[in-house]
Chains A and B, each alone.
Chain A
Amino acid sequence: MDQHTLTWPKEGNSRVPYRVFADEEIYRAELDKLFLGPTWQFLVMDNELPNPGDYKTTFLGETPIIVTRGEDGQIHAMVNRCAHRGNLVCLKRQGNDSLLTCVYHSWSYDLEGNLKSVAFRRGIAGKGGMPDDFRLEDHGLRKLRTDHFAGLVFGTLSDETQPLSEYIGNMVGERVGRVLYGKPKILGTTSQILHNNWKLYLENVRDTYHASLLHTFFTTFRVARLTNGGGVLIAENGRAHASYTRTKDETVGREGSDKLYAGIQSQREGLHLEDTRLLQNVSEFGDDITVQILSVFPNFVLQQVNNSIALRLVLPKGPDKTELQWTFLGFEEDDAALRELRLLQSNLVGPAGYVSMEDGAVGGFVQRAIVGGNDETSLIEMGGHGHTSEETRTTEASIRGFWQAYRPLMGY
Chain B
Amino acid sequence: MTPAELTRRLELDALYTDYAHCLDDDRLEEWPNFFVESCYYRITTAENFEAGLPLGLVYLTSRAMLVDRMMALRKANIYEPQRYRHLIGAIKVQAEQEGGLSVVANLLVVRTMQDGTMSVFAAGRYLDQLVRLDGAWRFAHKEVVLDSRQVDTLLAMPL
Closest Cβ of chain B to A335, distance in Å, is: 14
Contact A352 B153, beta carbon cutoff 8 Å = no
The contact string, 1 if C-beta is below 8 Å from chain B, for chain A 268-281, is 10010111011000
Contact A343 B151, beta carbon cutoff 8 Å = no
In the complex, A313→B114 CA distance in Å?
A: 30
Within 8 A of A (CB), among B18-45: 43-45
In the complex, A274→B149 CA distance in Å?
A: 30
Task: Decide yes or no whether B53 CB sits under 8 A from chain A.
Answer: yes
Q: A193-B150, A323-B150, A347-B58 are in contact. Are A361 and B79 (CB under 8 A)?
A: yes
Contact A274 B78, beta carbon cutoff 8 Å = no
Task: Decide yes or no whether A354 CB sits under 8 A from chain B.
Answer: yes
Closest Cβ of chain B to A365, distance in Å, is: 8
Closest Cβ of chain B to A406, distance in Å, is: 25
The contact string, 1 if C-beta is below 8 Å from chain A, for chain B 43-75, is 111011000011111111110110111011001
In the complex, A45→B75 CA distance in Å?
A: 38
Q: A220-B76, A358-B78 are in contact. Are A192 and B44 (CB under 8 A)?
A: no
Q: A190-B57, A268-B76 are in contact. Are A275 and B64 (CB under 8 A)?
A: yes
User: What DSSP secondary structure best describes chain B's contact surface?
Assistant: mixed
Q: A217-B77, A357-B155 are in contact. Are A352 and B43 (CB under 8 A)?
A: yes
CB-CB under 8 A from A405, the residues of chain B are none
Contact A358 B77, beta carbon cutoff 8 Å = yes
Partner of B151, one of A186, A192, A358: A192
Task: Decide yes or no whether A344 CB sits under 8 A from chain B.
Answer: yes
In the complex, A271→B71 CA distance in Å?
A: 8
Task: Decide yes or no whether B80 CB sits under 8 A from chain A.
Answer: yes
Contact A274 B65, beta carbon cutoff 8 Å = yes
CB-CB under 8 A from B58, the residues of chain A are 347, 352
Q: A343-B54, A343-B59, A354-B72 are in contact. Are A189 and B156 (CB under 8 A)?
A: no
User: What DSSP secondary structure best describes chain A's contact surface?
Assistant: mixed
How many residue pairs link A and B with beta carbons under 8 A? The number is 120
Contact B153 A193, beta carbon cutoff 8 Å = yes
Within 8 A of B (CB), among A94-148: none
CB-CB under 8 A from B98, the residues of chain A are none
Contact B71 A352, beta carbon cutoff 8 Å = no
Task: Decide yes or no whether B152 CB sits under 8 A from chain A.
Answer: yes
Interface residues on A, range: 35 or more
Contact A352 B76, beta carbon cutoff 8 Å = no
Contact A191 B155, beta carbon cutoff 8 Å = no
In the complex, A26→B79 CA distance in Å?
A: 30
Contact A187 B77, beta carbon cutoff 8 Å = no
Q: A193-B150, A360-B153 are in contact. Are A188 and B79 (CB under 8 A)?
A: no
Task: Decide yes or no whether B10 CB sits under 8 A from chain A.
Answer: no
Partner of B45, one of A190, A344, A364: A190
Task: Decide yes or no whether B154 CB sits under 8 A from chain A.
Answer: yes
Residue of B whose beta carbon sits closest to that of A187: B55
Residue of B whose beta carbon sits closest to that of A214: B78
Contact A352 B53, beta carbon cutoff 8 Å = no
Q: A358-B78, A364-B153 are in contact. Are A188 and B54 (CB under 8 A)?
A: yes
Binding site for A on B (CB under 8 A): 43-45, 47-48, 53-62, 64-65, 67-69, 71-72, 75-80, 149-156
11 A-B residue pairs with Cβ-Cβ distance under 8 Å, sorted by A, are A189-B55, A195-B153, A217-B77, A277-B65, A344-B59, A346-B57, A351-B154, A352-B43, A358-B77, A358-B154, A361-B78
Q: Which 10 A-B pairs have the closest CB atoms?
A: A188-B55, A274-B64, A360-B154, A275-B64, A351-B151, A352-B155, A188-B53, A357-B154, A188-B48, A216-B76
Known contacts A216-B78, A350-B57, A354-B76; 19 further A-B pairs (Cβ under 8 A): A186-B53, A187-B54, A188-B45, A188-B56, A189-B47, A190-B48, A191-B151, A192-B151, A268-B75, A277-B61, A277-B65, A328-B55, A343-B59, A346-B59, A351-B57, A351-B155, A352-B58, A361-B80, A361-B153
